[in-house]
Chain A
C-alpha cells in the first residue's frame, strides 16, 4: 500500500512538471524525495565504507568508485555544514544534479551520473534535497581529489561536457503510454542504468550508438539490456524482469556482483508499478539496438568442450543440473542464460574463480552462494569449463582462453 502510494506520488511529480505543493509539514515532499533516492540507488555509492547503510550512514560517503582513470571517492551528502551539503540551497543542488557543477563552480566527474540526473525535473531534485535535509548530519571529511594527473584537473570537465554532455530534463514521448514514459524516465534518469550497461568511449562517456549493449565494468561484464535474444532481454518477459529487479532472482537468473547492490539498495525497494514501467520500457526501446554479433556454438568434439564437459559433470552439475537448467530462484539456469553468453567473459570467469553470493531482498532472503573454484581449477580447466558453459545446451559465445582466466585470476588477486 505504502509503495503504491509512493509510486503515485512519484508519478504525479513527473507528470505535473512543476513544483508539487508540499503539505504543511513537508511530509509529501520528503517522502517523495526518499523514494527518488531509492530510484537513484544513491546509497550504493554514498554509503559508509563500513557497509552500514542505516539512516545517515547510507549517505556519509567515502566509498571509492573505480573508474578507468583512477578511483573517485564519493562525497558526504548528509546535511553536515562542514563536510556534507548542509549549506547547499535547492538551486545549488539542482545545478549539481542538472549540470554537474558544485556551488563553488568546480566540476563534478561523471562517475557522479549527472549525465542521467539532468533528466530529473526541478521538483524531483528539490524533493531529494528535502529528504537529505531530514537526515542526521554526520561529520565525515572525505578526500575528494584522489584522481592522478591529468584527470585531477576538474576544469577539463568543461571540454568533456561540451563534447559528451547534453543537459536537459526528460521530455515524455506523447506517442507512448504513460507507463512507458514512466519507465523511460526512471531508466534514463534517476536509475542511470546506462552508467553501467552502456559501453564507454576512451573519455569515459557513453557510446550512444551502443546504448545498453553492455560492457566490461570493474572486473565484471555488465550485461546486454537490448532486445537481443541470446545476450539481451529478448527472451525475458516483462514479468521476469519485474521479478528479477524486485527479488534479485527469477527462474532464469540471480543478481550478483554490482547488480546485487542495485537490487538490495534500489530496485527491491521500488514499487511494482515502477518495476513494470522499467520492464515495459526496456522491452520497447525507443531506438532499435545494434544487432549483437551472430555466434555459432563450438562443436561438441572441440577439445575444450570435451574437457569442459567432464569438469562440469564433476563440479557444477549438482546445482546447475546436467541439462544446465539449474534450480529456479536458487541456482541460475545456464542453458540460454544471457549472462554466460555475453561477448565478454569477465562475469563468468569471476564467478567461477571467486564464487559469488546472490542478492538479498526481503522477498527472497535465501541469498544462496556459489563457492569459489579458483583454488581447484587451473587456468586451462577454468577456460575449458567456462567455454563449455558458453557453448552447451544451445548456448553460443566465444571460447575462453587460459590467458583470459589467468588475467582474471591476477585481477582478483590484486583486488579481491
Chain B
C-alpha cells in the first residue's frame, strides 16, 4: 500500500470481452457473446439483485422504502450529474434524484421500469430525410441537429422481434407482414409475427377511453407490456409468471416473476454460463487505450474495498446507463468531445429527453376506477398524433406523442389526486382525497424531443464525484418545438377525456424550463449517437465506436433524438443488432470497423 492509503493497481488475466454495466444491454450482450464462445466478465458498480433474494413478495411492495426513498436507484452520494437549462448558466449538482431516476445494481433500470415496450415508427429512423421530403427544409426548428439513425426500421425489425420474444411482451399486433390487424396499432411498422402473449385485461379507465376515443375516430389498442398477461417460457428456457396487477412496477422490483427484466429473462441462464463472470460493486473508472490510441486494451475499475484493478480485454462493451456511457467516454478520451460553440465533436452531442403531458379527469362517484389493481403498462394507446402519423403542414413543429390511458398504480403515499383549488391540508383536503382517489382518471402523452445544438452533455468544470472525477454536466431545455408539439397533442386529448365523462378536466401540456425536481421520465437519450457519418455520430449503425473499433456503446445513448415512445424496446433491439454484428461479422475479423468511415 502506498502512503495515504492508495493501493497499487493490480492486473487481472485477460478476458475476451469486458462489459461495463449489467442491466438489460449488458445481460443480453453477455449472453450472446458467451453463446459465441467468448470469455466474458461484466463489471457492475451496484449490488447483486435477484428476485429470490431481493424482491420478496412480503417486502417488495414497500412504497416508502422503494417508491419514496428510492432504494433501487443510484445513490447520489456515489454519483450524480449537474444540470442547467442554458449555456450561460452555472450548472448545479442534483443532490436528490427528481426528474429522472437512474437505476443501480444488477438489472439496472430494467429492474424498476414500468414495462412499456414499444417499437419506434419507421419514419422515426429516417426522420430528417422523411420530413425534408414531405414538408421541405422549413419544417425544422431553429438550431436543430435532428438526424437520421443510419439504420431503417426494416433492418431493426428482426431484433425488435428477438427482444419481444425474450421478454414475453403482451400486446396486440397492428401490422403483420403488411396486413393491418384489427385491434392493433394501424400505424406501427410491419412486424413478422404477433406478440408472444396476449394483452393484459383492461380496467374501467381503459374501457372508457377505448369507447370515447373510438367514437372520436381514433383507433385505440392495448399498450404493449412487459408486465405479462400469462405464463411464458422464453427461447432461453426462462419462465415468467402472469402479472397479478399489484401495481408495484415502476420504482420496484417485481416479486412475482411477472415483469420482464434481466433477472426474469436472461440472468438465470447467463449466471450459470461457464464463459461468464459478473463482479458487482465494481465501478469502472476509465477505459484503457493502446499507445497509438486506436484500440481499447481493457478497463480500470475500483472494487468495494477501494482496490484498483486493471481488467485487460479484447472487446470493451459499454453497457451502462445512457448518462454514464457518455461520461466514461469523456473520461477515457474515446471519440471527440462535442463542442457546442463550433458544433464539432460527437461525444455529448444530441442529448434529448421526453416531453410528456397529461389531462386529468375528475369523475362523479358513479365511477370506480380502482387503479390499485393496476400494472406498470396496463393501458390503452392511440397513436394518431405520434411521429409523422398526422400531417404536420402548418403546425410548425417536428415530432409527436402517443396518447395513453393507464392504470398503473394507486399507491397510498403518492396517489393523491385532488382537483385544483383544493387546500393542501385539513378537512377539505381529506374530503377531496377521499372523493378523488377512486374517481380520478388520467390520459397522458409520451412526447418526442428533438435534438438541438445547445442541448448536450459535457464534463462539469466545478463539481466532482467521490473519486475526484468531474461530474457529467447536462445542458438541456424544452424548446418551442417541443412546447408546440405538446400543446397540440394535449389539445387532442381533452375531447377524449370529455367523452369519457369527466366532470372536471385539467390539462397540463409540457412547458419549459426543464425542472430537475418533479419526476417526469427516466428516458434520457443521446450523447453517443449512432449514424452514418463520423462527423455527426459517435458510433456507427452497429453501435461500434467509429475510431476505436473494439469498443461498442449500447443503450439509449445511441438515439440521435427521442421519439414519442418509451425507449426500452428500441434499446433491446439495438443491443441484439450490435450482438449479431459482433458475432457474425466483427469476430471473424477483429479490430476492424464494420462500416468504413
Point out residues on A near B: beta carbons under 8 Å: 315, 318-319, 327-331, 357, 360, 362-369, 371-373, 375-376
B332 within 8 Å of A by Cβ? Answer: no
* Inter-chain contact B241/A371, CB cutoff 8 Å: no
* Inter-chain contact B237/A367, CB cutoff 8 Å: no
Docked Cα-Cα span, A248 to B257, in Å, equals 18
Docked Cα-Cα span, A363 to B233, in Å, equals 11
CB distance from A288 to the nearest CB of B (A): 38
Given known contacts A319-B256, A360-B272, A376-B58, A368 and B51 CB-to-CB distance under 8 angstroms: yes
Given known contacts A368-B51, A368-B52, A319 and B231 CB-to-CB distance under 8 angstroms: no
* Inter-chain contact A329/B239, CB cutoff 8 Å: yes
Q: Name the residue on A nearest B274 (C-beta).
A: A54
Residues of A within 8 A of B231 (CB): 327-330
| Interchain residue pairs A-B with the least CB separation, the first 3 | A369-B52, A371-B56, A365-B268
* Inter-chain contact A369/B241, CB cutoff 8 Å: no
CB distance from A353 to the nearest CB of B (A): 13
User: Looking at the complex, which one of B52, B237, B246 makes contact with A318 (CB distance below 8 Å)?
Assistant: B246
* Inter-chain contact A364/B237, CB cutoff 8 Å: yes
Residues of B217-233 whose CB lies within 8 A of A = 231, 233
Q: Name the residue on A nearest B236 (C-beta).
A: A365
Could you list 29 examples of A-B contacts with CB < 8 Å?
A: A318-B244, A318-B256, A327-B231, A327-B241, A329-B233, A330-B239, A330-B257, A331-B241, A360-B272, A362-B237, A364-B237, A364-B239, A365-B236, A365-B238, A365-B269, A365-B272, A366-B239, A366-B257, A366-B268, A367-B52, A367-B268, A368-B241, A368-B257, A369-B52, A369-B53, A371-B58, A373-B58, A375-B58, A376-B58
Residues of B251-281 whose CB lies within 8 A of A = 255-257, 268-269, 272
B64 within 8 Å of A by Cβ? Answer: no
CB distance from B129 to the nearest CB of A (A): 44
Given A357-B52, A365-B236, A365-B272, 18 more A-B residue pairs with CB atoms under 8 Å apart are A315-B58, A318-B57, A318-B256, A319-B244, A319-B256, A329-B233, A329-B239, A330-B231, A330-B241, A360-B268, A365-B238, A367-B268, A368-B52, A369-B52, A369-B53, A371-B57, A372-B56, A373-B58
CB distance from B305 to the nearest CB of A (A): 22
Residues of A within 8 A of B53 (CB): 369
Residues of A within 8 A of B242 (CB): 327
Point out residues on B near A: beta carbons under 8 Å: 51-53, 56-58, 231, 233, 236-242, 244, 246, 255-257, 268-269, 272
CB distance from A243 to the nearest CB of B (A): 13
* Inter-chain contact B244/A363, CB cutoff 8 Å: no
Q: Name the residue on B nearest A366 (C-beta).
A: B239
CB distance from B76 to the nearest CB of A (A): 30
CB distance from A54 to the nearest CB of B (A): 9
Residues of B within 8 A of A327 (CB): 231, 241-242
Docked Cα-Cα span, A95 to B52, in Å, equals 45
Docked Cα-Cα span, A369 to B56, in Å, equals 9
Residues of B within 8 A of A362 (CB): 237, 272
Residues of A within 8 A of B237 (CB): 362-366
- Inter-chain residue pair count (beta carbon < 8 A): 59
CB distance from A274 to the nearest CB of B (A): 22
Docked Cα-Cα span, A368 to B241, in Å, equals 10
Residue with the highest number of chain A CB atoms closer than 10 Å, among B52, B233, B255, B268: B52
CB distance from A113 to the nearest CB of B (A): 29
Docked Cα-Cα span, A404 to B511, in Å, equals 63
Residues of A within 8 A of B56 (CB): 371-372
Residues of B within 8 A of A375 (CB): 58
Residues of B within 8 A of A365 (CB): 236-238, 268-269, 272
Residues of A within 8 A of B255 (CB): 371
Residues of B within 8 A of A328 (CB): 231
Q: Name the residue on B nearest A356 (C-beta).
A: B52
Residues of B within 8 A of A373 (CB): 58
User: Looking at the complex, which one of B236, B240, B241, B269 makes contact with A319 (CB distance below 8 Å)?
Assistant: B241
Residues of A within 8 A of B57 (CB): 318-319, 371
Residues of A within 8 A of B268 (CB): 360, 365-367
CB distance from B451 to the nearest CB of A (A): 41
Residues of B within 8 A of A364 (CB): 237, 239
Q: Name the residue on A nearest B267 (C-beta).
A: A365
CB distance from A147 to the nearest CB of B (A): 35
* Inter-chain contact A366/B244, CB cutoff 8 Å: no
Q: Name the residue on B nearest A316 (C-beta).
A: B57
Docked Cα-Cα span, A312 to B240, in Å, equals 22
Residues of B within 8 A of A329 (CB): 231, 233, 239
CB distance from B111 to the nearest CB of A (A): 16
Residues of A within 8 A of B269 (CB): 365
Docked Cα-Cα span, A130 to B549, in Å, equals 50
Residues of B within 8 A of A368 (CB): 51-52, 239, 241, 257
Docked Cα-Cα span, A372 to B236, in Å, equals 28
Q: Name the residue on B nearest A363 (C-beta).
A: B237
Residues of A within 8 A of B257 (CB): 330, 366, 368
Residues of A within 8 A of B256 (CB): 318-319
Docked Cα-Cα span, A368 to B272, in Å, equals 15
CB distance from B356 to the nearest CB of A (A): 31
CB distance from B269 to the nearest CB of A (A): 5
Docked Cα-Cα span, A369 to B239, in Å, equals 13
Q: Name the residue on B nearest A371 (C-beta).
A: B56
Docked Cα-Cα span, A363 to B51, in Å, equals 19
CB distance from B374 to the nearest CB of A (A): 14
CB distance from A87 to the nearest CB of B (A): 33
Q: Name the residue on B nearest A373 (C-beta).
A: B58
Docked Cα-Cα span, A165 to B210, in Å, equals 74
Docked Cα-Cα span, A169 to B244, in Å, equals 54
CB distance from B148 to the nearest CB of A (A): 40
Q: Name the residue on A nearest B238 (C-beta).
A: A366
Q: Name the residue on B nearest A357 (C-beta).
A: B52
CB distance from B7 to the nearest CB of A (A): 28
Residues of B within 8 A of A318 (CB): 57, 244, 246, 256
Residue with the highest number of chain B CB atoms closer than 10 Å, among A315, A360, A371, A376: A371
Residues of B within 8 A of A331 (CB): 241
Q: Name the residue on A nearest B255 (C-beta).
A: A371
Q: Name the residue on B nearest A317 (C-beta).
A: B244
Docked Cα-Cα span, A329 to B240, in Å, equals 10
Docked Cα-Cα span, A122 to B127, in Å, equals 76
Q: Name the residue on A nearest B230 (C-beta).
A: A327
Docked Cα-Cα span, A315 to B246, in Å, equals 13
Q: Name the residue on A nearest B257 (C-beta).
A: A368
Docked Cα-Cα span, A366 to B263, in Å, equals 9
Q: Name the residue on A nearest B245 (C-beta).
A: A318
Docked Cα-Cα span, A371 to B56, in Å, equals 6
Residues of A within 8 A of B239 (CB): 329-330, 364, 366, 368
CB distance from A211 to the nearest CB of B (A): 35
Q: Name the residue on B nearest A329 (C-beta).
A: B239
Docked Cα-Cα span, A399 to B507, in Å, equals 58
Q: Name the residue on A nearest B272 (C-beta).
A: A365
Docked Cα-Cα span, A168 to B369, in Å, equals 72
Q: Name the residue on A nearest B265 (C-beta).
A: A366
Docked Cα-Cα span, A247 to B236, in Å, equals 14
Q: Name the residue on A nearest B233 (C-beta).
A: A329
Q: Name the residue on B nearest A358 (C-beta).
A: B52
Docked Cα-Cα span, A319 to B53, in Å, equals 17
Q: Name the residue on A nearest B59 (C-beta).
A: A371
Residues of B within 8 A of A367 (CB): 52, 268
Residues of B within 8 A of A363 (CB): 237
Residue with the highest number of chain B CB atoms closer than 10 Å, among A365, A366, A367, A368: A366
Docked Cα-Cα span, A330 to B234, in Å, equals 13
CB distance from B298 to the nearest CB of A (A): 27
CB distance from B568 to the nearest CB of A (A): 21
